[in-house]
A and B are shown apart, each in its own frame.
Chain A
Amino acid sequence: MAKKKLNPKQEKYQQKVKKYESKPALFKNAFQAFVSGGLVCLIGQGFIDFYAAVMNLPKKEASNPAVATMILIGALLTAFGVFDKLAAYAGAGLSVPVTGFANSVVSAGLEFKEEGLVQGVGAKIFSLAGPVITFGVVTAFFVGLIHALIR
């Protein structure tokens, strides 16, 4: 990104802009995210316990179907147009857990279906989630490398 220096007039105006840009209600948003994020995790934990009991799995393996279920719920809520309304309230409480990932993929898929399966859905479905995947893989590579070297 090109960083152009502001001239003094622009600098002065930017100070004024800061004065009128009301800040998001940090404490309220954080509290709502804490409660709703906790709720999402509670539901997730419920599914882990459920799969562990019903499918007779060890807890660690039961988390796989539980995550898949949470993704499915996130995807369905997006498809029914409810997710964005819940997220407007919950913020990071919904977007940080796996439900947020589901939403970013499904919302892009839905949005671009009008441009066709290949150039629309196929090309654009990861337009929001793409960076997460790219940098997740890159980070995993370096962590793996460091792990191998240290051992």
Chain B
Amino acid sequence: MGKKAGKQTFEISNPPTIISTGTVAGPFEGQGPLASDLDVIVSDIRDGQTTYEQGERSMLTKACRLALDHASHSISEVDLFLAGDLLNQIISSSFTAATLGLPYLGLYGACSAMAEGLGLGAMILDGGFVGSVLVATSSHNSATERQYRYPTEYGGQRRPYQQWTVTGAGAALLGYTGSGPRITAVTVGKVIDMGCKDPLNMGAAMAPAAADTIAAYFSDTKSDPSSLDLIFTGDLGEVGLNLCREELAEAGIELGDKLHDCGLMIYDRTKQDVHAGGSGCAASALVFLGHVYKGLQKKEMNRVLLIGTGSLHSPTSYMQGENIPCIAHAVRIERG
């Protein structure tokens, strides 16, 4: 049992490589500052399909195929497919798994799906059970809005602390070929409930979970922030990132300008009216598998931590007055 470090962290003894990635973004995300790092920007929010849900699935399937194409891998060479999304019963992931015809494990960690998938994939590979894993996730602004909040054409004013669900999908092929970035450690988060009830303020609800996992990572690995070049939270947005910083400062961890949030990076908030920033599974998938992955390949950074953050409420739970429980998983990725 030499792989477990501390209470929540697993050091990967035979770290798998992120062989390739595939990213597909919606038209609005294509107007953001990271558009040049993304593989495909679709022009239609439904991606040529009839419903938003089909559109999300279509983007997810495309992202998976892109990741495989970039590695010149055929689908039959993939041993396992791990995917998760936000729609009820994770239909985007499961229906895509049906299309791909791969052995599949569905994940639900809300917007933490990307980090959860990368971490789990690395652990399964390190365990020697499989030789390659395809990890993917997606989210869709209109599909999640209609499930969690209001019809898309409903004219309500948005709160300044509200976030904008990112439309897009990302996939990563993990295995033991090539010299790409490697997943070297995984910190599995605990579900944290700090009494938040407002489903419009997800950043505030998720921030304590992110802070808890980051603190656990440093204490488990007996390291400090100087051991990392950059730290990316998934989709805390402006409010959540500030709160996360404050929580960490109280625990004696100062991250300064090493701490960034994928939800804040994907949009240009001076031009795009997204209020507190982006959210959704695709926020961390697009920013990490597009922008950060390329940065690691170009040797602009060596050692980064991705903290996927997820809010685990459902429309039923918050209507019944329950608090919003949240989770955050961290994966450490090092340049190959």
Contacts and interface: CB of A to CB of B under 8 A. Distances in A.
Contacts of A13: 194-195, 208
Contacts of B51: 114
A84 interface: yes
B321 A3 contact: yes
Interface in B257-283: 273
A100 B156 CA distance: 9
B155 A84 contact: yes
A41 to B, nearest CB: 17
Given A14-B196, A86-B155, A87-B156, A128 B201 contact: no
A107 B154 contact: yes
Interface residues of B, number: 31
Interface residues of A, number: 41
A63 interface: no
B243 A17 contact: yes
Contacts of B99: none
B14 interface: no
A83 B153 contact: yes
A21 B243 CA distance: 10
Contacts of B157: 24, 29, 87-88, 91
A94 interface: yes
Interface string A2-26: 1110110111011011001111100
A62 interface: no
Contacts of A7: 195
B179 interface: no
A16 B152 CA distance: 32
B245 to A, nearest CB: 10
Contact of B196 (A17, A87, A100, A104): A17
Interface string A85-123: 011100100110000100110111011101000000000
A23 B154 CA distance: 22
Given A2-B322, A114-B51, A21 B153 contact: no
A107 B195 contact: no
B243 A107 contact: no
B153 A81 contact: yes
Contacts of A104: 154
Contacts of B193: 10
Given A2-B321, A10-B193, A22-B161, A16 B246 contact: yes
A4 B323 contact: yes
B151 interface: yes
Contact of B50 (A22, A94, A108, A114): A114
B160 interface: yes
A9 B192 CA distance: 12
A2 to B, nearest CB: 4
B242 interface: yes
Nearest to A91: B157
A112 B154 CA distance: 12
Given A1-B320, A21-B239, A22-B160, A83 B196 contact: no
A100 B194 contact: no
A16 B248 CA distance: 13
A95 to B, nearest CB: 6
B155 A111 contact: no
A29 B146 CA distance: 25
Interface in A1-57: 1-4, 6-7, 9-11, 13-14, 16-17, 20-24, 29
A108 B151 CA distance: 6
A1 B150 CA distance: 21
Contacts of B7: none
Nearest to A79: B153
Nearest to A18: B204
A151 to B, nearest CB: 40
Complex A-B, nearest 10 residue pairs according to Cβ-Cβ distance, in ascending order: A87-B155, A10-B195, A1-B321, A111-B151, A107-B153, A107-B151, A107-B154, A6-B195, A13-B194, A2-B321
9 contacts: A7-B195, A16-B243, A17-B196, A84-B155, A86-B155, A103-B154, A107-B151, A107-B152, A111-B151
Given A6-B195, A10-B194, A103-B155, 13 more contacts: A9-B194, A10-B193, A11-B195, A20-B239, A22-B239, A87-B157, A88-B273, A91-B157, A103-B154, A106-B153, A108-B154, A112-B146, A114-B50
